[in-house]
């Protein structure tokens, strides 16, 4: 005990901190080191989805902008002091074209290169919908709308769960993991992995997401894996405690959770450390770090016997009520650089056609300026990246950005022309979900004539 005191951690603190670390790694919704299911695997390939969530509500009509004079002039009038100069927009050439020229925010050179090289596409004016909805239906109150539009928490939950008006404790990635659980029983890591905390997106009924930090597993505080260090003895002592013969089923269950957490942290950390070296340089931002760790984990997919994975990473700061012109370049530039680096790493490591990266965000933002920024809105544009993507395309209908126009429900809030369910169902189908089960993943998909938006090869 005297040695433990030398570290500044008494016995009670040691056990409390160890319990906290295990909870973050192993308790619901933490560790699912094994899917704990039977059945032979039925996939003969590897596929992964990487969700990049932009918390706060990305102003994506300044991310993807019309460059043709007529459409740009309408955009500039609507956006007022927030409009990007026409000459500053980075040109892109979608195929097939719709007669309008488009450009990207000047900070997004990385995404521009990916788009022009057919490795990226945009899904335009997409958002939560229960069914196709028009302005007339909204105005005469006949529209069936998602609840609490324009609310951060509620709309984040809509994107992550696709729950509509129902109450749901599961997300669409979690439901995908449940659907395929018997087909991936040999995997040595959970299907769902978060590098940005527990989230509704990966919550499930039968499987549990594995949660880690941006650079890897959260290690137990007060432990060391180096036998030369004093904290290694504390680890051995704790492992002896866990290995004791407990009479209570609750004590045994608690000890089992702790043991699995230690083994999982060790195994994942070892896998990351054993990943091949990369020449690709990632940004030092939190998003860049998260995506670099994802790349390392995918690089060791064979060692972990992985067949299907869904990763959740995120960046914040997109709630641009003020200082938008100051903050947006760095925000969008950071997303562009991080996603471009991840794609470059996927090419370098040989999995660029097996992994699809896609963005989500709370909602779009108002076209109108509140003086120095924007307010909460509805539809917006999302990015999809990877060699399995039908690149150089703008999927859906890009709306005329006109105040009080056909798609403006008020204040420059655009009614989505494409639903989040269609977006998710298209990704889920590529991931391996059968068409007959898409309604489990995207509960409102049957309300839309098009179930697959066609942006995946």
pLDDT tens, position by position, 412-452: 999 999 999 999 999 999 999 999 999 999 999 999 999 99
Quickly state the pLDDT bin for 8 (edges 50, 70, 90).
Answer: very low
Residues 6+ apart with CB under 8 A from 236: none
HSE, CB side, 13 Å, CA atoms: give it for residue 40: 2
pLDDT at 221: 61
Using CA atoms of 38, 43, 45, 47 in order, give the dihedral in degrees to the nearest 10. Answer: -80
CA angle 361, 206, 257 (to 5 degrees): 100
- The average pLDDT across 233-249 equals 78
Quickly state the pLDDT bin for 39 (edges 50, 70, 90).
Answer: very low
Residues 6+ apart with CB under 8 A from 249: none
pLDDT at 222: 63
Asked if the model's pLDDT at residue 339 lies above 80, the reply is yes
pLDDT at 213: 94
- The average pLDDT across 363-391 equals 98
Quickly state the pLDDT bin for 241 (edges 50, 70, 90).
Answer: confident
Nearest to 291, CA basis, from 45, 46, 48: 48
Quickly state the pLDDT bin for 29 (edges 50, 70, 90).
Answer: very low
Asked if the model's pLDDT at residue 130 lies above 50, the reply is yes
- The average pLDDT across 51-57 equals 98
Residue whose entry in the numeric block shows the structure tokens 């490795």: 119
pLDDT at 15: 43
pLDDT at 262: 72
DSSP at 312: E
Inter-residue contact 393 to 93 (CB < 8 Å)? no
Quickly state the pLDDT bin for 27 (edges 50, 70, 90).
Answer: very low
pLDDT at 42: 81
pLDDT at 136: 97
Quickly state the pLDDT bin for 40 (edges 50, 70, 90).
Answer: very low
pLDDT at 21: 43
Quickly state the pLDDT bin for 5 (edges 50, 70, 90).
Answer: very low
Helix (H) or strand (E) holding 260: helix 249-273
CA angle 122, 124, 125 (to 5 degrees): 150
pLDDT digit string, tens, across residues 179-224: 999 999 999 999 999 999 999 999 999 999 999 999 998 766 666 6
Mean pLDDT across the chain, nearest whole number? 90
Phi, psi of 321 (to 5 degrees): -70, -20
Using CA atoms of 162, 150, 447, 399 in order, give the dihedral in degrees to the nearest 10. Answer: -120
Distance CA 428, CA 120 (A): 18
Percent of the chain with pLDDT over 90: 78
**Strand ranges of the sheet holding 90-92, from the earlier edge strand across to the other edge:** 64-66, 102-104, 90-92
pLDDT at 438: 98
Q: Is 122 helix (H, G, I), strand (E, B) or coil?
A: strand
- The average pLDDT across 223-248 equals 77
Burial (CB count <10 Å: 0-12, 13-18, 19+), residue 84: buried
For residue 96, say if its preceding peptide bond is cis, omega within 30 degrees of 0. yes
pTM (predicted TM-score): 0.89
pLDDT at 245: 85
Quickly state the pLDDT bin for 13 (edges 50, 70, 90).
Answer: very low
Of 34-43, 89-98, 122-131, 439-448, least confident by mean pLDDT is 34-43
pLDDT at 264: 73
Asked if the model's pLDDT at residue 26 lies above 50, the reply is no
pLDDT at 242: 74
Quickly state the pLDDT bin for 36 (edges 50, 70, 90).
Answer: very low
Distance CA 59, CA 227 (A): 51
Asked if the model's pLDDT at residue 284 lies above 50, the reply is yes
Distance CA 93, CA 164 (A): 35
pLDDT digit string, tens, across residues 143-177: 999 999 999 999 999 999 999 999 899 999 999 99
Nearest to 352, CA basis, from 341, 365, 366: 341
- The average pLDDT across 220-240 equals 73
Q: Which residue would you say has higher pLDDT here, 240 or 166?
A: 166
Nearest to 372, CA basis, from 425, 429, 327, 414: 327
Q: Which residue would you say has higher pLDDT here, 221 or 30?
A: 221
Which residues are paired to 211 by β-bridges? 194
pLDDT at 219: 64
């Amino acid at each position: 005990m005297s040695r433990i005191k030398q570290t500044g951690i008494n016995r009670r603190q040691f056990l409390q901190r160890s319990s906290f670390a295990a909870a973050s790694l192993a308790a619901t919704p933490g560790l699912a080191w094994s899917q704990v299911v039977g059945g032979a695997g039925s996939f003969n390939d590897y596929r992964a989805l990487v969700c990049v969530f932009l918390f706060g509500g990305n102003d994506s009509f300044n991310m993807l902008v019309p460059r043709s004079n007529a459409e740009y002039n309408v955009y500039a009038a609507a956006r007022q002091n927030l409009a990007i100069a026409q000459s500053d927009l980075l040109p892109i050439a979608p195929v097939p074209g719709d007669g309008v020229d488009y450009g990207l925010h000047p900070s997004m050179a990385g995404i521009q290169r990916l788009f022009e090289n057919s490795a990226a596409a945009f899904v335009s004016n997409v958002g939560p919908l229960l069914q196709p909805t028009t302005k007339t239906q909204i105005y005469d109150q006949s529209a069936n709308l998602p609840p609490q539009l324009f609310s951060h928490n509620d709309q984040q939950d809509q994107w992550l769960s696709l729950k509509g008006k129902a109450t749901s404790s599961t997300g669409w990635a979690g439901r995908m993991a449940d659907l395929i659980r018997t087909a991936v029983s040999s995997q040595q890591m959970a299907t769902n992995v978060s590098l940005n905390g527990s989230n509704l997106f990966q919550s499930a009924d039968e499987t549990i997401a594995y949660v880690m930090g941006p650079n890897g597993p959260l290690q137990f505080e007060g432990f060391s894996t180096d036998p030369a260090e004093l904290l290694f003895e504390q680890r051995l002592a704790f492992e002896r405690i866990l290995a004791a013969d407990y009479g209570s089923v609750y004590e045994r269950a608690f000890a089992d959770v702790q043991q699995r957490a230690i083994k999982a942290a060790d195994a994942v950390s070892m896998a990351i450390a054993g990943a091949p070296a990369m020449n690709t340089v990632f940004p030092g931002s939190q998003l860049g770090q998260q995506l670099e760790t994802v790349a390392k984990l995918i690089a060791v997919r064979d060692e972990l016997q992985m067949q299907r994975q869904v990763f959740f990473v995120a960046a914040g700061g997109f709630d641009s009520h003020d200082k938008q012109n100051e903050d947006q370049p760095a925000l969008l530039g950071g997303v562009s650089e991080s996603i471009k680096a991840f794609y470059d790493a996927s090419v370098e490591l040989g999995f660029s056609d097996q992994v699809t990266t896609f963005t989500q965000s709370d909602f779009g933002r108002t076209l109108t300026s509140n003086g120095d920024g924007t307010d909460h809105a509805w539809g917006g544009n999302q990015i999809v990246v990877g060699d399995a993507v039908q690149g150089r395309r703008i999927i859906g209908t890009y709306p005329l950005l006109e105040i009080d126009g056909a798609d403006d429900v008020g204040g420059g809030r655009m009614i989505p022309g494409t639903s989040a369910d269609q977006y998710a169902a298209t990704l889920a189908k590529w991931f391996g979900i059968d068409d007959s089960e898409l309604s489990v993943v995207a509960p409102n998909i049957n309300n839309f004539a098009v179930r697959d938006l066609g942006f995946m090869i």
